[in-house]
Structure 1
Amino acid sequence: MKKDLRVILSGGGTGGHIYPAIAIANEIKTRFPKVDILFVGASGRMEMEKVPRAGYKIEGLWISGIQRKLTMRNLMFPFKLLSSLAKSRRIIKEFKPDVVIGTGGFASGPLLKVASSKGIPSLIQEQNSFPGITNKLLAKQVDKICAAYEEVKRFFPAEKTVITGNPVRQDLLKIDVNKEKALKHFSLDKDKKVVLVLGGSLGARRINQLVEANLEKFKKENIQLIWQTGKLYFEDYKKYNSGLVQTHLFLNEMNFAYGAADVIISRAGAGTVSELSIVGKPVLFVPSPNVAEDHQAKNALAVVKKNAAMMLKENELDEKFETEFFALMASEEKQKELGENIKKLALPNATARIVDEIEKLIE
């Protein structure tokens, strides 16, 4: 193995592509302390801020996705693509990577295409149960595909697809699920059930509206809520903070939140689903309908099919939530079954397994 290893990681646009890339970079750095790592992202997107904060250097490409309707951005796409391919060639020529890794998002397309055309070992990591357009296009060209769900095998060449799982935050693997300690952290009553509501760091409007509409029912059933409203909605919902209801803009110590929860209501982003599998608590997924290719609904469905979670789409909430969710709250048996089944889907060593595959490519 080379001592002066050089690695390019590319992916971004959303946290779902950025955080796995950072987790992979951290694992590579642990194994090869002298490694030189460069990130390549899309100029103006969140990776340009998040990656340097994680301690890595990043270059930006002038690239964005294709809109579904005719817009000026679509007319600019061919120029952006040509510009990104040219810059990718320059980056690869100057940096001379030993391996290039893509975690999805438009920036990884041009870079991985150039790398694979030059015979540089390349690998993509697909987080979702239904692959994004970039990874679908790259699948034939790259050397290895690390995926989180068996379902993706019908889209990718089977001989180079390995089910590794999704990288998750390292602190989660050491999750302290000591319930008593977690309840104490939130000053909660150990004799009452706890529901944890998660909508992501910005928040999920429809989930917040749902909780608000059912507050009386939660109170009537003596259910305690740890309600993470998100940054965009905290001012609207903080007025509901009371004995049974705790509103939080953000939850910094997720291990305590997971430890205290009996049941979780959550979105179904790929990273979230992977985390919740490790947590092993019963979950009701409310997938966001505002994501490309309806990824979240497909991720949730892959878990629901294994009798490992419940799912309600946003347009089903008014009709079904009260009946189905409170039936789950009343059934210890159903909670136990869902918790045990989702735990079976957990792949806690995903990051290490992905880096094992990377090592094989550069041996």
Structure 2
Amino acid sequence: MKILMTGGGTGGHIYPALAFIDYVKTQDASAEFMYVGAKRGLENKILPETDIPYEMLEIQGFKRSLSLGNFKTLHLFFKSVRDGKKILKKFQPDVVIGTGGYVSGAMVYAASRLKIPTIIHEQNSVPGITNKFLARYVQAIAISIPQAASYFPTEKVVLTGNPRASQIVLTKKSDVLTQFGLDPAKKTVLIFGGSQGAKKFNDVILASLSELAQKSYQVLYASGERYFAAFNQQKIPKNVVVVPYLKNMQDILGNIALLVGRAGATSIAEFTAIGLASILIPSPYVTNDHQTKNAQSLAEAGAAVIVKDAELTKENLITELDSLLNDSKKLAIMAEASKELGHPDAAEHLFKVVKEVLLHH
């Protein structure tokens, strides 16, 4: 079986694709893969660290206002479709799977024109422009959150979950927190504003240090490289650890009691796979406010508390942390609700969709 994966721009599009590839390798040792990403995307840093053959196309997104740049966007899209067809004819995949981003739009569209079976995977509760565009051309649409189904043709939709969950669920309890000087026996909250960090998070944590020092629980805060220096002149409490970045996020998630962070689809897939309670602060800077809708699906199930970005203060954060970390019963109920929303078999379900599409092609 030859599978071409395409998606890029952000980790939310890339990591599910890589997780799916890892799973298929365990099921079919003879499977071959190709990854097609965008030259400007995060995939340029991630793919070279893997053994997956890849190609990068030059493409960019549409501006939301009238702009001459949109003419260049159209030119690059059609050029990418032409270049994509060349890649497809050379690799000759049995199926093409798009996980989002503009490069996915060009590649999946090109594959459909060549009559190659196509599938898209939507991670969020509200689809982006690319997957809405591709919906009419593909054979199947895999979704991670049930609320996304209403945006697509019913007969094409399959709820699979996010393949990233299939990797995280393998996480075991360990002493990984000792690497940060923390006590594995104490309740620990991870606060994480995304790979680049978030200024609002940083300001609030800086203001909260003296109060956090009085708590019985521990705090591990990933600030992001750009905000880390702000802590150099601060007196950091013994129960608070600040790091610029966490490379071993998968291991850490399996050893904490609570997560405070944004509501990106891949993050949600990760912590629901193992059943973590969360305080979610949706980013107000994303398309269609989809993070708020992602978070609402958890809050409605009793798995998360939502704090609006504009309302995040030292007082609100400390209140919510105390409310959960000082109430083991409440925390356990939320954790169980979170686990019920998880899709630990997501990669397996997506692979079944692939087989079904190929069977009927």
1:216/1:358 CA distance change after superposition, 3 Å: same
Secondary structure of the 1:250 match is: coil
Partner of 1:206: 200
In the aligned structure 1, how far is the partner of 2:337 from the partner of 2:277? Answer: 9
Amino acid at match of 1:22: L
Opposite residue 270 of structure 2, the aligned amino acid is E
CA contact (8 A) 2:165 2:273 kept: no
The answer as to 2:282 corresponding to 1:303 is no
**C-alpha contact (below 8 Å) 2:36/2:54 kept by paired residues:** yes
| Residue among 135, 141, 163 paired with 1:145 | 141
Q: Which amino acid aligns with 2:286?
A: V
Is the contact between residue 223 and residue 244 of structure 1 (CA under 8 Å) also seen in structure 2? yes
2:272 is aligned, of 277, 292, 315, to 277
User: How far apart, CA to CA, are the structure 2 residues paired with 1:192 and 1:31?
Assistant: 39
Deviations 1:274-305 (A, max 9, x none): 11112322210111222222222221111111
Report the Cα offset of residue 171 of structure 1.
5.1
* Structure-2 change in CA distance of 1:24 and 1:219 (3 Å): same
TM-score (norm 2): 0.91
The 8 Å contact of residues 226 and 257 in structure 1, kept in 2 or not, is answered as no
Asked whether the 8 Å contact 2:184–2:255 carries over to 1, the reply is: no
Task: Work out which of the residue numbers 213, 220, 243 in structure 2 matches 1:219.
Answer: 213
Q: Tell whether the 8 Å contact from 2:37 to 2:54 is kept in structure 1 after alignment.
A: yes
Residue of structure 1 in register with 2:100 after alignment: 104
Partner of 1:291: 286
Aligned partners of 1:351, 1:164: CA distance in 2, in Å? Answer: 8
Partner of 2:164: 168
Matches of 1:172 and 1:298, distance apart in 2? 23
Q: 1:229 maps to which residue?
A: 223
Paired letter, 1:55: D
Structure 1 CA distance, aligned partners of 2:334 and 2:358?
40
Residue correspondence of structure 1 range 322-333 to structure 2 within 5 A: 322-333=318-329
Give secondary structure in 2 for the equivalent of 1:232: helix
CA distance in 2 between counterparts of 1:193 and 1:58 reads 42
User: How many correspondences in the alignment?
Assistant: 357
- Gap regions ≥5 residues in structure 1: none
CA contact (8 A) 1:176 1:259 kept: yes
How much identity, in percent, do the aligned residues show?
Answer: 35
| Deviations 1:207-257, CA, capped at 9 Å, x for gaps | 122222222222233332111112222222254443111112223333553
| Structure 1 residues 295 and 30: CA distance shift in structure 2, 3 A | same
Equivalent position SS for 2:350: helix
What are the Cα deviations for residues 140-165 of structure 1, in whole angstroms up to 9, with x where unaligned?
21011111111011001122211111
> C-alpha separation between the residues in 1 aligned to 2:184 and 2:57?
52
| Residue 188 of structure 1, aligned match among 176, 182, 189 | 182
- For residues 106-127 of structure 1, what are the alpha-carbon distances to aligned partners after superposition, in whole Å with 9 as ceiling and x for unaligned? 0011221122233211111111
1:39 equivalent in alignment to 2:13:
no
**2:338 match: secondary structure:** helix
Q: How does 1:67-86 map to 2 (within 5 A)?
A: 67-86=63-82
- 24, 27, 41: which one pairs with 2:23? 27
Q: Are 1:165 and 1:350, in contact at CA under 8 Å, matched by a contact in 2? A: yes
Query: In structure 1, how many angstroms separate the alpha carbons of the residues matched to 2:41 and 2:250?
Result: 29
Relative to the length of structure 1, the TM-score reads 0.90
2:242 maps to 1:257? no
Distance 2:124 2:304 in 1: 17
TM-fit CA distance, 1:35: 2.8
Match of 1:357 in 2: 353
